[in-house]
Structure 1
Amino acid sequence: MTATPEELLYTPSHEWIRDNGDGTVTMGITDHAQDQLGDVVFVELPEADQSFAKGDELAVVESVKSASDIYSPISGTVQSVNEALEDAPETVNEHCYGDGWMVRIKLDNPDELSELLSAERYQELVADEA
């Protein structure tokens, strides 16, 4: 079983969300997702101040195996992006829940967080995929 921090929220499409408690969230991809992708070689992130609806394509992660779209699990506006990933995309593999974060988003609708999965539910989903 891959690492699944209890304090985070998750999506069925393998993104994680950290509620920063100030109307913003930090987002990245899960350990399971980075493991499935393999060695990440490029991350295309959105621009700051760009707005997204829930379900919109937010980013693209390219690995030696494939390219995968990353979707916004919530509606909001990008406050900042992890520019360090431009020069070190492998950070997504090495520290997906830490330095490998992708974007910080100001929430349009905080109620959308209640629609995300707990760590326990996410682990069940991943186990069912195996």
Structure 2
Amino acid sequence: MSAAAAPDASVVAAVLAAADAIVDDFAHHRTEAYFAGFAEDATFVFHTADRRLQSRAEYEALWAQWEREDGFRVHACRSSDRCVQLLGDIAIFTHSVDSRIELGGSVDDVTERETIVFALRDGRWVAVHEHLSPRA
């Protein structure tokens, strides 16, 4: 049995660049740029939401509600323990996330694990699914 071929470093770098853009835009609360990293048909599973979000528009509406009703604001976000798995035109990015989030006037540090599934669409790696879980 032969060893699996090493993943193409340039493809991994492109996926990491797409992930880095999402994390950086989130960290700086650049809402429009952040959502641009996700496909319109992306789905989202968050431990803080009571349901799966079926589209980017649904997530954008929830984000706007958090801002309006809870004073939601992202102050920082750091990604670590990163891994990219390539499956053809699909890439799975997993990492640990440390964020500083403001809700209801209180700023707290939040530690989570996240999976973002990317698809290569029109020559660009775009996020098509995000799953966020609490980290102990």
Normalising by structure 1, report the TM-score.
0.29
Normalising by structure 2, report the TM-score.
0.28
**Which structure has the higher relative contact order (CA within 8 Å, separation 6+)?**
1
Of Structure 1 and Structure 2, the greater helix share is in 2
